[in-house]
Amino acid sequence: MKGGFVARGVWVLMVIALLLLTPASSPGVSGDINGPDRDGSDWVEERIRNMTLEQKVGQMFMVGFGNPGDQPAYEINDQIRTLIQEKHVGGVILFGRNVESPEQVGKLTGELQTMALSSSSGIPLFVAIDQEGGPIIRIRKGVTLFPGNMALGATRDPNLAYEAGRITGMELRAMGINMNLAPVVDLNNNARNPVIGVRSFGEDPTWVAKMAEANIRGYHDGAVLTAVKHFPGHGDTAVDSHLDLPTISRDRKRMEEADLVPFRRAIAQGADAVMSAHVTFPAFEPSDLPATLSRRVLTDLLRNELGFDGVIMTDDMEMGAIAKRFGSAKAAVRAIRAGADMVLVCHTLSVQKESIEAVTQAVRSGEISEARIDRSVRRILELKSRKLGSQSILRKPQTEGDRIPERVGRKDFAEVARKVAQRAVTLVRDDQRHLPLDPQKQSRVLVLSAEGASELGEALRGQGFDPAVRKISLSPGGQEILEASRMAVESDAVIIGTFRAQMHPEQGDLVRALRATRKPVIVLGLDTPYDPMSFPEDGTYLALYSSHPVSLEAAAKAVAGKIPLSGRLPVTIPDMYPAGHGHDLEIPQGLD
């Protein structure tokens, strides 16, 4: 008994000695990840107390990296090494230039986190991406591709929005990506919007809020953080903020009743981050300042009135709306003064360094207080350490690279994407009752499309048709229209994919010329469903909202009558069809 007591005493003394020899704050992985309060406020406050000003400011930046001449940057390069090791950035955003395969992405993110954890601050990174689905995706090969938000909106099924978020989230986290800059919760209520479009769930604020809420829950269950965007709304613009500065002139009452509804709902449900819009809103900010630089928008409205206490992020400060008018570095300072916690500078090393140094100098000069910086860093560290529970970024910064093949691009995930695509197909009109086409009687189909022509042809071949395929221009000229019409005469039917025809009116000319041949013409909308505005005469129009392979496959099945049609328009087609419109079409007897 006495010997056991002595042995235990010696063991306790050894443990105490080891603890005394261990540094209180180690930059290595183990010191950071295995701390006694690694998911609580003690870790956050201890970190802030021990960080230099440069480390604090660095945490407030999310950066991208590339190679000269638009060459791929699949591995760590000098740009990102400098930004992590010398500028202490808090986040990295990946683009298509950084993506070759899921396995390569997993290796890259693991090396990025190892570099961050072995740096002087020892804090893991946000590793973010724009993997919205639909047209905005950075990883295209080896993953599950969903048709996008407007297709989800057309299903009117929040469960599918949840599944899309969960599956995308699981795949991203398996590759070491812990934040998706999604979902877009803007209302697409302008048919000529060049930048939102099918990225939106639709125009109805209640439905958009409901779909976004389900989508965010899915991402969280997939262990990925989200950033809802673009606050306070980017849907009613006709200018692309990547190029210049748009203005939304709606009055405050209309903004409150519409655009802000999805943001309020997301915030009430615990949104992780909110991304600001590079758009001016006279209803909130009477000067010409965009929301990203406006204290009235970011602090008075978002932080105080809506009660959001998470991370406020800017959109990329190298976009034309900011860089051309304000200068990226100066704008970074102004954004933080306005209330932003994290600044995105996505491309150029010199601009990234200038922006970080400008903020650091603004603190040293007293333009921004260090207490103000501390508040932002606290929000950032709390998001890294406390959100997602046992899957938090602090607890699990690294991915298990050897398990990527079993977690990414699974067959059961692909089936969910197919289900979304099929449920989204909306029969807007079929005035001459052309649908379905019978491959036994109408086998020779002419397939014309500016997007996915060959994939559409193969999908139709799989349904028993004998397609002749021709890729067309977005704005087909007279000779191209003439040749397509000649080919149509030799066919039993024509299937044409249109893409934003209201912005490319020549597509409307082509549709009218094809209809003049008296052959059945089936028009497939591959993007926003406003195309009938360019050819309002009677005809057949199916809205797909996407040109992804799963959507083209769904279109082929719809044309052949192999799937029921139940999609509903998520947006109004001005002067033609209201939101919610759509005809049901059951599978004809004998075809199922």
Contact 530, 573 (CB under 8 A): yes
For 510, residues 6+ apart whose C-beta sits below 8 A from its C-beta are 448, 472, 476, 480, 481, 484, 496
- Cα separation, 100 vs 245, in Å, equals 33
Q: Is 202 left (phi over 0), alpha (psi -120 to 50) or beta?
A: left
- The whole-angstrom distance between residue 325's C-alpha and the CA centroid of its chain comes to 26
Catalytic-role residue among 221, 240, 242, 466: 242
What b/e string do you get for 298-313 counting C-beta neighbours within 10 Å, with b at 16 or more? Answer: bbbbbbeebebebbbb
Nearest alpha-carbon partner for 476 in 541, 554, 534: 534
Q: What angle do CA 553, 554, 557 make, to 5 degrees?
A: 90
- Residue 548 among the catalytic residues: no
Q: Is 581 left (phi over 0), alpha (psi -120 to 50) or beta?
A: beta
Catalytic-role residue among 39, 186, 259, 315: 315
Write out the two tokens for 434.
């052309």
Type of residue numbered 583: H
Write out the two tokens for 440.
């036994």
How many Cβ atoms are within 10 Å of 464's Cβ, its own excluded? 14
| Whole-number Cα distances in Å, 343 to 56, 173, 220, 244, 352 | 13, 23, 23, 19, 10
Sign of the CA dihedral with 368 first, then 374, 379, and 381 last: positive
Sign of the CA dihedral with 406 first, then 412, 415, and 417 last: negative
SS3 annotation, 432-449: CCCCCCCCCCCCEEEEEE
| Whole-number Cα distances in Å, 294 to 90, 123, 314, 369 | 23, 30, 11, 18
How many Cβ atoms are within 10 Å of 521's Cβ, its own excluded? 25
Q: For tokens 């209803």, what's the residue?
A: 283
Strands 311-316 and 273-276: parallel
- Residue 234 among the catalytic residues: no
What is the set of active-site residues?
242, 315
